[in-house]
Amino acid sequence: MLDFIARRLIAIVPVLGVVAVFVFLMLRLTPGDPAAVIAGDNATSDQIAMIREKLGLTLPIWQQFGIWMGDILQGNFGESYFFKKTVAELIAQRIEPTLALAVCTLVVALSAAIPLGVIAAYKQGSILDRFVMGLSVLGFSVPSFVIGYCLIYVFAIELGWLPVQGYIRIGVDFWGFLERMVLPSTTLGVIYIALVARITRASVLEVLNEDYIRTARAKGLSNRVVLMRHALRNAAVPILTVIGIGIALLMGGAVVTESVFGLPGLGRLTVEAVLSRDFPTIQTVILLFSVVYVVVNLLIDISYTLFDPRIRY
Rounded to a whole number, what is the distance in angstroms from the first to the last CA of the chain? 5
> Given 3-state DSSP classes, what are the helix, strand and coil percentages for the chain, each rounded to the nearest 5?
80, 0, 20
Q: Is the dihedral of CA 263, 293, 112, 302 positive or negative?
A: negative
Stretch that binds another protein, among 44-52, 66-74, 191-199, 225-233 (CB under 8 A): 44-52
**Per-residue x/- track, 272-291, another protein (CB under 8 A):** x--xxx--------------
**Whole-angstrom Cα distance, residue 229 to residue 236?**
11
- Beta bridge partners, 86, equal 79
Q: Based on the shown chain and the rule CB under 8 A, indicate whether residue 230 belongs to the binding site for another protein.
A: no
Among 5, 12, 16, 36, binds another protein (CB under 8 A): 36
Q: Based on the shown chain and the rule CB under 8 A, indicate whether residue 38 belongs to the binding site for another protein.
A: yes
Going by the DSSP 8-state scheme, the letter that residue 230 receives in this structure is I
Q: Based on the shown chain and the rule CB under 8 A, indicate whether residue 82 belongs to the binding site for another protein.
A: yes
Q: At 282, is the secondary structure helix, strand, or coil?
A: helix
Task: State the nearest-atom distance from the C-beta of 43 to another protein, in Å.
Answer: 6
Q: Based on the shown chain and the rule CB under 8 A, indicate whether residue 42 belongs to the binding site for another protein.
A: yes
Stretch that binds another protein, among 107-115, 173-181, 199-207, 301-309 (CB under 8 A): 173-181
Going by the DSSP 8-state scheme, the letter that residue 86 receives in this structure is B
**Whole-angstrom Cα distance, residue 38 to residue 55?**
11
**Whole-angstrom Cα distance, residue 41 to residue 33?**
13
Task: State the nearest-atom distance from the C-beta of 289 to another protein, in Å.
Answer: 17
Among 132, 197, 231, 260, binds another protein (CB under 8 A): 260
Burial class (CB in 10 A: 0-12, 13-18, 19+), 157: exposed
**286 phi and psi angles, rounded to 5 deg:** -65, -40
Task: State the nearest-atom distance from the C-beta of 112 to another protein, in Å.
Answer: 25
Q: Based on the shown chain and the rule CB under 8 A, indicate whether residue 268 belongs to the binding site for another protein.
A: yes
**Per-residue x/- track, 48-77, another protein (CB under 8 A):** x-xx--x-----------------------
Going by the DSSP 8-state scheme, the letter that residue 123 receives in this structure is T
Q: Based on the shown chain and the rule CB under 8 A, indicate whether residue 102 belongs to the binding site for another protein.
A: no
Burial class (CB in 10 A: 0-12, 13-18, 19+), 184: buried
* Type of residue numbered 97: P
Nearest of 272, 254, 271 to residue 263 by alpha carbon: 254
Among 131, 174, 212, 313, binds another protein (CB under 8 A): 174
Among 119, 195, 269, 286, binds another protein (CB under 8 A): 269
Q: Based on the shown chain and the rule CB under 8 A, indicate whether residue 221 belongs to the binding site for another protein.
A: no
Q: Based on the shown chain and the rule CB under 8 A, indicate whether residue 159 belongs to the binding site for another protein.
A: no
**Whole-angstrom Cα distance, residue 214 to residue 222?**
12
Stretch that binds another protein, among 5-13, 40-48, 112-120, 133-141 (CB under 8 A): 40-48
Stretch that binds another protein, among 78-86, 100-108, 236-244, 282-290 (CB under 8 A): 78-86
Task: State the nearest-atom distance from the C-beta of 313 to another protein, in Å.
Answer: 27
Q: Based on the shown chain and the rule CB under 8 A, indicate whether residue 83 belongs to the binding site for another protein.
A: yes
Binding site for another protein (CB under 8 A): 31-33, 36-48, 50-51, 54, 82-85, 90, 93-94, 149, 152-153, 156-157, 160, 163-174, 176, 259-262, 264, 268-269, 271-272, 275-277
